[in-house]
Chains A and B, each alone.
Chain A
Amino acid sequence: MNDSIYLSIQNSPRFKELVRKREKFAWILSAIMLGLYSGFILLIAYGPQLLGAKISPTSSITWGIPIGVGLILSAFVLTAIYVRRANGEFDDLNNAILKEAAQ
């Protein structure tokens, strides 16, 4: 692969747009995931009694259970959101960039 193609892609406005959009999206989603998980860990460390509190007086289920399962689900949902956009919008943009560079 010769350097001029790389250079022309690097300077193309579309490439800059792709990188900006994708990086921003990836970092926002990462921050959400890390934020949720850090919150969970902080709860374990500083407020374990909150996770151990019953969700209702008659139930044996504690708040920790829906929060924990919710974290597992959120991991999947965030992944799905990213893949949807990356495999659609971002890949289309990427293909346009590669096509432009090949000309």
Chain B
Amino acid sequence: MIRRLLAVLGASVFAPAVWAAEALTGEVQKQPLNIPAILMFVVFVGATLCITYWASKRNNSAADYYAAGGKITGFQNGLAIAGDYMSAASFLGISALVYTSGYDGLIYSIGFLVGWPIILFLIAERLRNLGKYTFADVASYRLGQTQIRSLSACGSLVVVAFYLIAQMVGAGKLIQLLFGLDYHVAVIMVGILMCMYVLFGGMLATTWVQIIKAVLLLSGATFMAVMVMKHVNFDFSTLFSEAIKVHPKGEAIMSPGGLVKDPVSAFSLALALMFGTAGLPHILMRFFTVSDAKEARKSVLYATGFIGYFYILTFIIGFGAILLVSTNPAFKDAAGALLGGNNMAAVHLANAVGGSIFLGFISAVAFATILAVVAGLTLAGASAVSHDLYASVIKKGKANDKDEIRVSKITTIALAVLAIGLGILFESQNIAFMVGLAFSIAASCNFPVLLLSMYWKNLTTRGAMIGGWLGLISAVGLMVLGPTIWVSILHHEKAIFPYEYPALFSMMIAFVSIWFFSITDKSAAAVKERALYFPQFVRSQTGLGASGAVAH
């Protein structure tokens, strides 16, 4: 302890000079205590806890708790959605992907983005007009409440669990590198903080934490990208040619490489990213925080702009890391690998372009990012349990607000414990791919049911149930049998399912079986459900009868 403290003190005193000289070996710098980082992080946590306190005073009803009373503006919500999307997994993971494989990182990020226009064109306004707190409100609008809500809640929880794993692993690694703290301590800390935001602040606090973080992250990433471009005199050609010179893969970083090995994998990944977005419960929930369809549309416009801008920055940052981080022995260990792993490329770059103060800023922002995203995820997971499972399935819609929120809070605590456990279990996985897996499940279970419930008159409870469950089971099953889990985690020799991304197959299974089991459904309930389509259609188009902003 004392020795570490001394080493840390020594390192932090000499750090600025050392970074300026750019000539230190990896060993001494292993885990320097960065005072500016800790201070900035403490400021962020303090500010967000104040917001949480402020929000807790304003949370009077279920509408406040789940949907911030419907009073978030389109611009604010756009930032919050972008914030949910610009998770630490995408910031660290995609810049790491650019750092290791160059162009592949851009391919990956484009896949994340193109889902947004589709969400706007086909889903956003109908979703806003039909729903109240969760997307299951929409999916079960005219179908069997018990069955469809159970299905949607399970779909949400599985997605939330995988997404949470990615975030927790990111948090652990980040703090390990930054504070020299134990991985487990870091994960537990994140679990406790996210729990507090959601428990006391509900959606209002979660949204504002997300907005603040989005602004901080966009500013920080902009600064890094500008500094990288300044290093190459704002000439992209120089940026790329310098990167080619120093990267072990050489010219290959400028063209598609190993990310997608064959057309099937490419298409499967593309589907997962595009339609997965439209099935992420924590993102869909944000559409209910604005007052009407007009604001919902604006949210998507702003979100698409911010996310697109962010991905372009990430690409520049990844290349900047090739130039400024991979060539600097101070960021590497004795074996020549990056300190803290490849996911730390962007964090090291912050140090290279802005010194230890800026490293502190980016580390604090990256950590804040994780906190904000896990809070959103936890709220989505807790709402699925309280609003869908408890209030609608168990209490058959007769639960009062107070009980419902209490269940939500208990679930929040349970989810925090689960997230901590899973975070520890999945310590050594590449976090960007974990997010890809969450998307596959969202695209195969939540998305087909949601889309068809709004667009297809003949959808029945039976079809949605069977198809949705098959989509969920096949996405999870194929994932377990695929290379990501079967080989990398379970250490089997060869994967039973050859593709890393199951979405192409699991989505097909979901859609075909929803279709088949719906059209063959001749029950009386099915006739009734089909008849209810037209009132639903009118409401989804015009917003007549939609839940609006709550007046106090």
Contacts and interface: CB of A to CB of B under 8 A. Distances in A.
Contacts of B267: 41, 45
A98 B544 contact: yes
Contacts of A75: 113-114, 116-117, 304, 308
B311 interface: yes
Interface of B: 103, 106-107, 109-111, 113-114, 116-118, 120-122, 125, 236-238, 240-241, 244, 251, 254-256, 260, 262-263, 266-267, 270, 274, 293-294, 297-298, 300-301, 304-305, 308, 311-312, 534-535, 537-539, 541-545
A71 B542 contact: no
Contacts, number: 154
Interface string A41-81: 11011101101100000011110110011011101101110
A87 B163 CA distance: 33
B240 A60 contact: yes
Given A72-B312, A91-B294, A30 B121 contact: yes
Contacts of A45: 260, 262-263, 266-267
Nearest to A42: B263
A33 B114 CA distance: 7
Contacts of A73: 308
B236 A61 contact: yes
Residue of B244, B256, B262, B297 most packed against chain A (CB within 10 A) = B256
B172 to A, nearest CB: 31
Main SS of the interface on chain B? Answer: helix
Nearest to B546: A1
A22 B293 CA distance: 14
A61 to B, nearest CB: 6
Interface of A: 1, 3, 5-6, 9-10, 15, 18-19, 22, 26-27, 29-30, 33-34, 36-38, 40-42, 44-46, 48-49, 51-52, 59-62, 64-65, 68-69, 71-73, 75-76, 78-80, 82-83, 86-87, 91, 94, 97-98, 101
B542 A33 contact: no
A52 B545 CA distance: 53
30 contacts: A1-B545, A5-B544, A6-B535, A10-B534, A33-B117, A33-B121, A37-B111, A38-B270, A41-B267, A51-B256, A52-B254, A52-B256, A59-B237, A60-B238, A60-B240, A60-B241, A60-B254, A62-B103, A62-B255, A64-B103, A64-B106, A65-B103, A68-B106, A71-B110, A71-B113, A79-B117, A82-B121, A83-B120, A83-B300, A87-B297
